[in-house]
Amino acid sequence: MTVNLLDLDPEKLAGFFLEIGEKPFRARQLMRWMHHFGEDDFSNMSDIAKSLREKLKDRAVIQTPRLVRELDALDGTRKWLLAVGEGNAIETVFIPEANRGTLCISSQVGCALECSFCSTGRQGFNRNLSVAEIIGQLWWANRALGREPGGERIISNVVMMGMGEPLLNFENVVTALNLMLDDSAYGLSRRRVTVSTSGVIPAIDRLGERCPVALAVSLHAPNDGLRDVLVPINKKYPLAELMAACRRYIEHAPRDFVTFEYVMLDGVNDTLSHARELVRLVRDVPSKFNLIPFNPFPGSGYRRSSEASIAAFKTILVEAGIVVTTRRTRGDDIDAACGQLAGQVLDKTRRNGVCA
């Protein structure tokens, strides 16, 4: 059976080499070729014995998702549509900024959570991505962006904020996270890798124990009644329990705060009273807010809040001592909002996901 080596963490890769009669130290050697140098051809791995390279050709592959389409926005944002088999596609987005380069990675084909304002949620859910399909997005982006081996890192930050709920694909996501952090692979800092969740509380606790990276929570509402509509998983894991989980996570996290993401929907969740409710909700949770102007898509039923409404909302939070940023809209001309391009190209998903 042929093994895709991108699916293996360092321990499993060492086990693979033992199985084929090779020394386990070869795992680190191969990891550097695969991840650090972005090599997928065994014949180019010059410091690995030719006999081993031949053995690898017979028993293994380094297989990433296949590029379907690449789009470049006027603001420098780049978006890749990647095929993952059986007619399914996922999206990966690179956002360049003055002091960082952020890659937004998907964790599932579609999403089971059905958040009412989310393009991906409208498409339904098909399946979880494998480790190779998750880490393969970072592998692909590094190659596409043209980083030279040993050269300056173009991707400095990774956010698990693409298609899907990362914590409903827990084991594969954690394995991929560990590869992102490993010095023989991508060597990213825990502070620069972020997992975004809609609030799967048991998995938040497990993440804190297994692989504490920066945590972002898709909040979007200040009370249970409204959040039940916008983020239906709230019916299972309500806000009081979610805030308690956030406080527990901070004990393990590389940052001393949780980022709350809050999409600004005109007339729905953007009033001054909503802002005051938020202040009361998070008063015991060290936090930072990221206000996100809604990125419309056909049939969404929502409108983007006005700049004046967003500014007034932000003022209430800032006056309460909360750190707030307003996300600049990026890549509007290439549908860079999560799920938009995949939804246009193909929608073979089906709603069969179950929250753990």
Predicted local confidence at residue 149, as pLDDT: 53
For residue 270, pLDDT beyond 70: yes
> Domain ends where: 61, 92, 109?
61
Domain hosting residue 45, numbered range: 3-61
Which residues are catalytically annotated? 91, 338
Q: Does 234 share its domain with 300? A: yes
> Which of 97-101, 145-149, 178-182 shows the lowest per-residue confidence on average (mean pLDDT)?
145-149
Three-state DSSP at 13 gives helix
SS (H, E, C) 218-268: ECCCCCHHHHHHHCHHHHCCCHHHHHHHHHHHHCCCCCCCEEEEEEEECCC
How large is the average pLDDT for residues 282-289? 97
How large is the average pLDDT for residues 115-121? 81
Quote the pTM value. 0.91
- Structural tokens at position 37: 């140098």
**Residue 73: which pLDDT band, with cuts at 50, 70 and 90?**
confident
Q: Does 210 share its domain with 180? A: yes
Predicted local confidence at residue 98, as pLDDT: 85
For residue 189, pLDDT beyond 90: yes
- Strands 193-197 and 157-160 come out as parallel
How large is the average pLDDT for residues 3-30? 94
Amino acid occupying residue 312: A
Residue with tokens 């999560």: 338
Q: In this structure, what CATH number is given to the domain that contains residue 46? A: 1.10.150.530
Q: Does 188 share its domain with 258? A: yes
For residue 338, pLDDT beyond 70: no
Q: Does 45 share its domain with 82? A: no
How large is the average pLDDT for residues 322-334? 76
